[in-house]
Amino acid sequence: MVLHRKKTEGADWLPLSAGERAVGIEVLVNGPLSRGELARRLGLSAGSLTRLTKPLIESGLLMEVAEEAGGAVRRHGRPSQPLDIVMDSHDFAGFKITEDMVYGVVTTLRGEVVERHSTPLTTPDPDEVANLLAAVAREFATRRPRLAGIGIGVGGRVEGRSVVSESVFLPWRDVPLAALVEERTGLPVVVDNDVAALVEAESRFGAGRGLARFAVLTIGAGVGYGLALDGKVVRSAEDGLDIARRWIVDPAGPLAADGSRGSAVALLTIPGICSQVRAALGRELDYEEILQRAAAGEQPAARVIDEAARGLGTLVAQIANFAMPEKILLAGEGLGLMDVAGPAVEEAVRANRHPHADPVDLETKISGFHDWARGAAVLAIQVLVLGVGGS
């Protein structure tokens, strides 16, 4: 059973011209905006703005609102009133796939999460994964009948926002995931690397909003990095290729499973940290217990976490040195080490920066997998509604 026909109401928004897209993005990210302010931001005349906004209003993407006393907003008024996104017109589902779980959310057009779901992934078979995603989407649709599209984030390389050419955590090669899920749901589907999707969401609606240069570094099961310039994610042929295995942070550091020494993967990931402690103790400890022992000063946990913190600080400093971002966001489920060894991270950042360099604006967000799923939903909004970076 499909949720909608392929021709959804949301498809009436497409294709947008470059000018319409610029208006839509500006209102989506910063609205409500008066027509005068919108024209000023985009460098448009009043006549050009009217021409560009008319089809967006007629399609149901934008609406005119009224500012009441105190700045409150109501929905009815004269044509001179500010413009805003029609928040309840459509919802979008986002999914993050790990090696053993699927995390899903539903968001509004501004990326606000209104539903959450998680379910075990019992098999990596692509058809079964697509069946599971479709089942969750159908469950979402029972409560959110305006579901208009799906975004999916995977740890790996994705071609054409549709085919998973290879995955870091799943035994996949050239899996047409978007087509598999579209066949089962009847909804348009966008698939991308999970880090790229997270950077998209944070640059539009999160820590990087309004910044010209914004970087994201994630640590957890792996290490990810992304850069956004003026709200647009910088893409490269290396996206999804697990390049952190080649980021040598400490040449004398620990060995990774692939034999590399002192890489970001060996030093910073949860599996890498657990492996180091296991080798020292001869038994397994989970990540949270390692952090607790490190906080209490117990060895070898304290040494391993201190080395990880210094490695993280070194990596942050190098990102600041070369990319010169206005802000770096640290995210991921592995950032509990900041609570235990934050001063060591800060010390390593300072040690690897010029003494007269600007301080690094470092924001920490210990995010769960639902945050990654939100990133996928925002990516779907960008591509399916606004036609941004559709290939």
Where do the H-state alpha helices sit in 174-300?
A: 177-185, 194-205, 264-268, 270-281, 287-295
pLDDT band of 242, cuts 50, 70, 90: low
- Find where tokens 């600041």 sit: 320
Chain segment 371-385, per-residue pLDDT in tens: 999 999 999 988 887
- Average pLDDT of the segment spanning 47-76: 72
CB-CB contact of 126 with 44 (8 Å)? no
What CATH number does domain 9-85 carry, 3.40.50.300, 2.60.260.20, 1.10.10.10, 3.40.640.10?
1.10.10.10
pLDDT band of 89, cuts 50, 70, 90: confident
Annotated domain spans of the chain: 9-85, 91-200+371-385, 209-366
Q: Quote the pLDDT of residue 3.
A: 59
- Average pLDDT of the segment spanning 309-313: 95
pTM here is: 0.83
Chain segment 100-117, per-residue pLDDT in tens: 999 999 999 888 999 999
Highest mean pLDDT: which range of 26-40, 44-58, 227-241, 333-347: 333-347
Alpha-carbon span 199 to 374, nearest angstrom: 11
Q: Quote the pLDDT of residue 240.
A: 62
Cα distances (angstroms) measured from residue 181 to each of 114, 117, 132, 177 = 22, 17, 9, 6
pLDDT band of 119, cuts 50, 70, 90: very high
H or E element that contains 366: none
pLDDT band of 74, cuts 50, 70, 90: very low
Least confident span in 72-76, 192-196, 255-259, 266-270? 72-76
As a CATH number, domain 91-200+371-385 is: 3.30.420.40
pLDDT band of 59, cuts 50, 70, 90: confident
pLDDT band of 72, cuts 50, 70, 90: very low
Tell me if the domain spanning 209-366 has CATH number 3.40.470.10: no
pLDDT band of 77, cuts 50, 70, 90: very low
Chain segment 249-305, per-residue pLDDT in tens: 888 888 777 777 888 889 999 999 999 999 999 999 999 999 999 999 999 999 999
Mean pLDDT of the chain: 86
Alpha-carbon span 197 to 153, nearest angstrom: 7
One fold for 9-85 and 209-366: no
pLDDT at 11 over 50: no
